[in-house]
Structure 1
């Protein structure tokens, strides 16, 4: 199309009343702008847009040029300055409502590699347009933030410090840009905080900013590794989000403990349990804005309220969530006095769920440092329970854990509590007397009686034998309790009798397996010698031995030998316990 034809079309647009412009005119106007950009005529397009004679056309149809101009801007070519100037002119001329929807439309179906660049490019234009809105500004802000956050959530969050510094996908840059984007709206809300008279628009603006903050807590902050000693980009972003929360109200205590999010924002995303859990982590672990948190809440109340947040994090499979959950657990427990948590708290669902979530970490998590942290948290939790609560907690864990390692750790704690109870002034009915016998009934038992797998249950069995030996050595304290010593001996006899049978069966099985393995090794050695003499025989053997064992013969031999050594250890402990019993009986005859 030559210049005369273009001028003819432009004049036709000018001559038409604005109300008579048809959809094809808008499309032709967009094609005209796109042609200028692809034909390296961005300067001419800018001149056209700024021409006073064309302001009526620009005001009416200029919005359709936003898409090609932004796409050209993203290329960052030699026309960048002209494109930015053209967009600036359009944002000052066209309808803000139409521009807003045009800009938001550009966030849909972005190529993943262009997400961060697109967000960075759109944010200043969106801010300009929103600030020009006279009505429904809060709704427009919510629309824009929702669209931007939806795209940002598609990007992987950097986890390590190196990833954050590299910021390969631009997540950190986008987060900082979003904070800058919301700043004028936050300032507008802050200026009205002291004003008693607020309207629905003010409340809606607070709601949209709160939704943005709660989303940011869930994505990306919950996924990020945060450390106050290493104030990275995302840590600073977290600080800005917390400051923004303080500025827009409600108070942090209401958000955390009294579920006031529901009052302010009626969407699932802003009511997210993950967001509140991350908020608790930033407040109590990273200590961001802790000075603004009321000091009137007791440590027990804070722990009780945080249990839901802790369970939310510990029930996750993600390392970043588990790390935050364990840290929040430790911080929430540290301020509670030892031996102070009453048994009534264990009846709360959140308190009974926490140990089970912790058990999942201890038994199923493949990451060693998380398992080690989990064990420390478990011990910290036990230390905070009062005597009755400890007793009932031990019974609960022995009944529900179904894991020998966890059960052995509980049995070790039972021994510690018995020892503590035997000290002067510490006597109690829970770990001395009949209640102890009831607890021992859970400890001194085999899950499948004589058919129990001793190797799987080795940790629990060895710890239970150690506890039994300890109790027999402390006979003086137990004999002071009517009937306790006699019942302990009865429980001991039944347990050791069943254990001897189980050891005998297991030893016979593993000895037979070891004998069969050695015979098989001899046979294979002979076959190997024969195979060296005949290639045909090698081929024949390869056909016959299709099933390959999961372990090499050497490893199988080590496993079987280790099992037999374990049975020897168990038998030596059983023998020692019987010796102690005989010695005590001689003394009291």
Structure 2
């Protein structure tokens, strides 16, 4: 019989031995091939018990196959390692693991030590160097499949407080394990899926300061993830197409990894090309990886649906492609790979799907990216060049409506301001007919006085532009203009319209009327040229278009005066009631001061309907009356101009 060889793994020093003594978790190993021997030393006893602090662990190696170790052996070996690390004896543990005589047991049961050693690495104690070396030795000695399974279990069970530290500690060793495998695709896919699942639990930094502090470790985790995939990307790039199908499977796994990272965390990150942060560099690495596995970014964005891709049209994949568009056109990452032959209008049309997706979300990061992508897509389009047929596409109706929702409903001022800039940019890119149609649509559907006022202001600007020599057109000077003007010069609820609520729209419509009357000669001349360019048998401008404008003006001003009278009377009555209420309360206060005993029996005649103080209510009512005076002054000025023009003609 072969005499067993013994290698001692002894945390601390001691004398003597006692067989059958309990291990760290009560395992008694009289007959086991792993024996825990206790050093009986009077001055080294563990408090509160008879177990000694210092153990000498003898591991008896026999001529046993690697798989011949029992479950008890595995558990006891793990417990012994935990005890060694707890006592700060990581150097002895490393010596034991590296000893040539112990490679059989290390190869068979070393995977059990991954957890304790990884935990010690995460704690970053003095034993960090020894534990790193021990982990490296295990990854080179143990069976790759068992190592992979053990590391994936560690990743799945990460405590939320140490996600980043665990990922940065494990990924280099996990990379080594997968590189040792012949078939790398499936293990890589499992590893990336597990890592991304844990990274998705980390909060995304919201500001530059948060990103620099990296309190939760998302930036460190992303950097570790980028380093982790590099050798696999290099393998895909070096493949000459003559190998097996494995590189193709690797491409698929790397592609899925990129799609996942684009959606989370990159789509939620605040990226800035001028401040190249860790997340910005991570985005750069993801785009490079995507180029390595797909080669052609335009195909991915605009043309080709991948074969066997059931998830191509699901919302998550669309979000990832929207992020690609943002990184490409806004951050200019991998822009050198994009062909310059594609027209700006084509790029805008294709990007509208991604813009719409981003603007439909409520998250600030999504809305910002949608607005910036929209602005960049429009920036390269020539002014006054987008044809009216584009507005026939549903997406060109939906996206401006989403912009309107941001303008009217979003609580964040910087988003509203940016949305207004993009809204104006879109208007600038439309040709005359497209503007005419778009303005009609917005006046009919916006239901918001501020947006309608902004549209009417643009109508005035377009009329002014059309009056310039050689710029005339029938959409803002000719026979088509009265149909648009009719939508402008109207009160939605007639005489009962809330003038304060519709103030922006009403003031802009009055300004447009005044402008048309002041510039009537230029307007009439250009109207005549515009109509004659379209048809030779149309009625004269004075009897046709101008007459229609005058009719709309008369009806509009008449209704507006009636509404002003009603509104002024109502608000003047409110001011009077407020004053009377104030006098009543002052009188009651004087009575109360004389008869303090009657305080509890006093009642207030008028109950307040508002949380505003009387002073604030009074200021609001006075402001309304001032607004009505301003409207009245504009109406008077328009009528004066009309009378002056009539005298000149006569």
Bin the TM-score by the shorter chain. Answer: over 0.9
Q: Does 1:392 align with 2:437?
A: yes
CA distance in 2, matches of 1:570, 1:270: 49
Q: Provide the residue aligned with 1:128 in structure 2.
A: 176
Match in the other structure for 2:141: 93
* 1:529 corresponding residue in structure 2: 590
Distance 2:199 2:596 in 1: 64
> Residue 265 of structure 2: SS of its match in structure 1?
helix
Aligned to 1:158: 205
- Does 1:106 pair with 2:167? no
**Equivalent residue number for residue 644 of structure 2:** 583
Q: Quote how far apart the aligned CAs of 1:179 are.
A: 0.9
For residues 362 and 452 of structure 2, the distance between their equivalents in structure 1, rounded to whole angstroms, comes to 23
More divergent stretch after superposition (423-432 vs 8-17) = 8-17
1:200 is matched with: 245
Match of 1:185 in 2: 232
The 8 Å contact of residues 338 and 385 in structure 1, kept in 2 or not, is answered as: yes
Higher Rg: 2
Q: 1:77 to 1:268 in 2, by over 3 A?
A: farther
Determine if contact 1:300/1:336 at 8 Å carries over to the other structure. Answer: yes
**Which of 20, 34, 46 in structure 1 is aligned with 2:94?**
46
**Residue 448 (structure 1) aligns with:** 493
In 2, Cα distance between equivalents of 1:508 and 1:493:
23
Tell me how far 1:553 sits from its aligned partner: 0.9
Deviates more, 1:220-229 or 1:29-38: 29-38
Identify which range, 432-441 or 251-260, moves more after superposition.
251-260
Q: Which of these residues, 342, 352, 372, is aligned with residue 327 of structure 1?
A: 372
CA contact (8 A) 2:440 2:487 kept: yes
**CA offsets, 1:100-133, max 9 Å, x none?**
1211111224332211111111111111111111
Question: How has the CA–CA distance of structure 1 residues 18 and 418 changed in structure 2, closer, same or farther, with 3 Å as cutoff?
Answer: same
Residue 452 and residue 110 in structure 1: after superposition, are their counterparts in 2 closer, same or farther (change >3 A)? Answer: farther
TM-score for the superposition, normalised by structure 2: 0.84
Partner SS state of residue 264, structure 2: helix
Of the candidates 281, 289, 299, which is equivalent to residue 334 of structure 2? Answer: 289
CA offset digits 1:266-309 (Å, max 9, x no partner): 57889622222222222222222222211111111111111122
CA separation of 1:541/1:241 partners in 2, compared to 1, >3 Å: closer, same or farther?
Answer: farther
Q: Which moved more, 1:565-574 or 1:316-325?
A: 316-325
The 1:543–1:383 alpha-carbon spacing in structure 2 relative to 1, beyond 3 Å, is closer
Give the Å deviation of 1:536: 4.1
Which residue pairs with 1:381 in the alignment?
426
TM-score (norm 1): 0.92
Q: Is the CA contact (8 Å cut-off) linking 1:160 and 1:225 kept in structure 2?
A: yes
Name the structure 2 match of 1:514.
575
More displaced stretch, 82-91 vs 32-41: 32-41
CA distance in 2, matches of 1:7, 1:41: 25
Report which stretch shifted further, 246-255 or 90-99.
246-255
Which residue is 1:10 aligned to? 33
Structure 2 CA distance, aligned partners of 1:3 and 1:132?
43
Corresponding residue number in structure 2 for 1:71: 119
**Post-superposition offset of 1:350:** 2.0
Answer yes or no: is the 8 Å Cα contact 1:215–1:270 preserved in 2. no
**For this pair of structures, how many residues does the alignment match?**
586
Pick the structure with more helix per residue. 1
More deviation in 20-29 or 218-227? Answer: 20-29
**1:267–1:45 distance in 2 versus 1, CA, 3 Å:** farther
After TM superposition, the structure 1 = structure 2 runs for residues 215-230 of structure 1, keeping only pairs within 5 Å, are 215-230=260-275
Distance 2:315 2:617 in 1: 55
Choose from 500, 512, 517 the match for 1:467. Answer: 512
The aligned residue for residue 501 of structure 1 is 562
* Contact 2:305/2:312 (<8 A) preserved: no
Q: Distance in 2 between matches of 1:371 and 1:236?
A: 29
User: 1:543-562 alignment to 2 at 5 Å?
Assistant: 549-562=610-623
SS at match of 1:106: helix
For the Cα contact (< 8 Å) 1:342–1:388, is it kept in 2? yes
Structure 1 residues 104 and 536, CA, compared in 2 at 3 Å: closer, same or farther? Answer: farther
Instruction: Decide which moves more: 544-553 or 577-586.
Output: 544-553
2:343 maps to which of 290, 298, 307: 298
- 2:82 aligned residue: 34
Separation of aligned partners in 1, 2:306 and 2:605: 69
SS at match of 1:296: coil
Root-mean-square deviation (CA, aligned residues, Å) is 2.7
| Secondary structure at 1:434 match in 2 | coil
The 8 Å contact of residues 207 and 265 in structure 1, kept in 2 or not, is answered as: no
Q: Kindly indicate whether the alpha-carbon contact (under 8 Å) linking 1:472 and 1:580 is maintained by their aligned counterparts in 2.
A: yes
Task: Mark the runs of 5 or more structure 2 residues left unpaired by the alignment.
Answer: 1-9, 11-16, 21-28, 35-59, 529-540
Are the structure 2 counterparts of residues 547 and 431 from structure 1 closer, same or farther at C-alpha, using a change threshold of 3 Å?
Answer: closer
Following the alignment from structure 2 to structure 1, what is the Cα–Cα distance between the partners of residues 385 and 157?
56
Q: In 1, Cα distance between the equivalents of 2:315 and 2:508?
A: 48
| Cα contact 2:388–2:433 (8 A) shared by 1 | yes
- 8 Å CA contact retained: 2:387, 2:431: yes
1:460, distance to aligned residue in structure 2 (A): 0.2
| Alignment partner, residue 535 of structure 2 | none
In the aligned structure 2, how far is the partner of 1:38 from the partner of 1:547?
A: 71
Residue of 185, 209, 213 corresponding to 1:138? 185
The structural deviation recorded for 1:392 is 0.5
The aligned counterpart of 1:59 is 107
In the alignment, the residues of structure 2 paired with residue 434 and residue 87 of structure 1 have an alpha-carbon distance, to the nearest angstrom, of 82
Counterpart secondary structure, 2:474 = coil
